[in-house]
Amino acid sequence: MSMWWFITTLAITAFISYFPASAYDNNPLQDICVAVNDSQAAVFVNGKICKDPKLATANDFYFSGLNVSGNVVPGLGFASTRVDVNNMPGLNTLGMFVGRTDLEPQRLAQFHTHPRATELITVLEGTLYTGFLVPDAANFFKSRLFSKIINPGDVFVFPKGLIHFQYNMGNKKATYLSFFNSQNPGFVIIPNSIFASNPPISDDILAKGFQLNKTDIALLRKKFS
């Protein structure tokens, strides 16, 4: 009897272990993925199509330039350098993305989220005030702020999908590296997403949602458009 239960348990364990693995869905790498019921349509994949491994070279796994400031984002006070699958093809399917940010003094990396990744940052130069918001389980309408002042050599992490920010509180440029556990983490800038949507959200809805008047809403649209 004992041997029978042992064999049965072993068989059930093997069944449970095998089938979920074969049916597992990967995390999405696009914001949307609309199904096309057309066998002649172009192929869209959750990531990038792979080249023949025999054609890969060391350069596919190499990037140079993270030691210098990148492209300035107009009006936002920071420059950004990205190391992703577009400039390092070998990253495809490895679930990684690296970025460098150079943030001007007294400027803010606006409230944003990464819907598909946890972000870990480390400061190379300057001083940042940074933090993220966690919904308050006891009060649906409130959140808890986890924040810290960080300096060169310090590391801070933002859990996946949570709203966070980085503020350069110093008098010189702040430089930090960001590491994401997704090939395509996504970037949702909260104010711009709300006040610069296309087509726009109606003024009535925004006024009610933020308990403001329409004059205030028009001003916010102008600032974030």
Annotated binding site: 112, 114, 119, 164
Residue 51: DSSP 8-state: P
Single-letter code of the amino acid located at 166: Q
CA nearest to 85, candidates 115, 34, 50: 50
The span from the first CA to the last CA of the chain, in angstroms, equals: 73
The binding site for Mn(2+) consists of 112, 114, 119, 164
- The residues facing 122 across adjacent strands are 155, 177
- The residues facing 133 across adjacent strands are 145
The binding site for oxalate consists of 114, 119
Distance CA 113, CA 103 (A): 18
